[in-house]
Chain A
Amino acid sequence: DVKVTQSSRYLVKRTGEKVFLECVQDMDHENMFWYRQDPGLGLRLIYFSYDVKMKEKGDIPEGYSVSREKKERFSLILESASTNQTSMYLCASSFGPPEAFFGQGTRLTVV
């Protein structure tokens, strides 16, 4: 079974902190994604990566950056966390159409 693992299920950080959300997949997938999920807005794409050290902005990249130094790991970085970044964050990976596999989500609260 494909496994996509996010490092934390729940995280509480203070405003202004630098926050790292980690995601690891074990299926040698080229593509990895970070989504943000908010009530009434569904899942919105923040960033995605189709290869090591490659990244592309999604629909809502402002306030975020990413890092992919190894194929299996894709990190989402909040350089200076703000309260409006309190949300659920979902990582996914795929080898291309027609499917993507998701991690269990990280619920981040910024206080």
Chain B
Amino acid sequence: AQTVTQSQPEMSVQEAETVTLSCTYDTSENNYYLFWYKQPPSRQMILVIRQEAYKQQNATENRFSVNFQKAAKSFSLKISDSQLGDTAMYFCAFMRDFGNEKLTFGTGTRLTIIP
């Protein structure tokens, strides 16, 4: 079974600063996907960024980037130039690259951006 661990229940950072959210996972699979989802107060889960395990290059989406360390089973999210709209719960998630697969989530990090 896969497990996903987020060890930072809460974080806060000043607006315009950079913040890094941590995530580790455990799996015996070689082919899988890793995700960061954002859940703002509206409760809608929004995909922030996705990483394919077979890709060595770290994924980036505008101000969001990941540091994917496959051997260490680590997948951190870096948010640059943080904005008030980044205030949300952030969930790290894992999905095997196999058939009808489900997402396995971490416990989440509540991020607050301070004006």
- A35 and B37 alpha carbons, distance in the complex (Å): 14
Question: Chain B's interface: helix, strand, loop or mixed, by majority?
Answer: loop
Minimum Cβ distance to chain A for residue B20 (Å): 19
- Secondary structure of the A side of the interface? strand
Please pick, from A45, A58, A92, A104, the residue contacting B42 in the complex, using a CB distance under 8 A: A104
Q: Could you tell me the distance between the alpha carbons of A43 and B52 in the complex, rounded to whole angstroms?
A: 21
Contact check, B106 vs A98: say whether CB atoms are below 8 A apart: no
Q: Which residues of A contact B4 (CB under 8 A)?
A: 42
Contact between A97 and B98, CB atoms less than 8 A apart: yes
- Cβ–Cβ < 8 Å partners of B106 in chain A: 42
- Do A96 and B100 have beta carbons less than 8 Å apart? yes
**Contact in complex: B97, A105 (CB < 8 Å):** no
Collect the chain B residues with CB atoms within 8 Å of residue A107's CB. 43
Cβ contact of A102, chosen from B33, B45, B104, cutoff 8 A: B45
Q: Which residues of B contact A (CB under 8 A)?
A: 4, 6, 9, 33, 42-45, 47, 50, 52, 91, 95-108
Seen from chain A, the residues whose Cβ lies within 8 Å of a Cβ on chain B are 30-31, 33, 35, 40-45, 48, 50, 58, 88, 90, 92, 96-100, 102, 104-105, 107
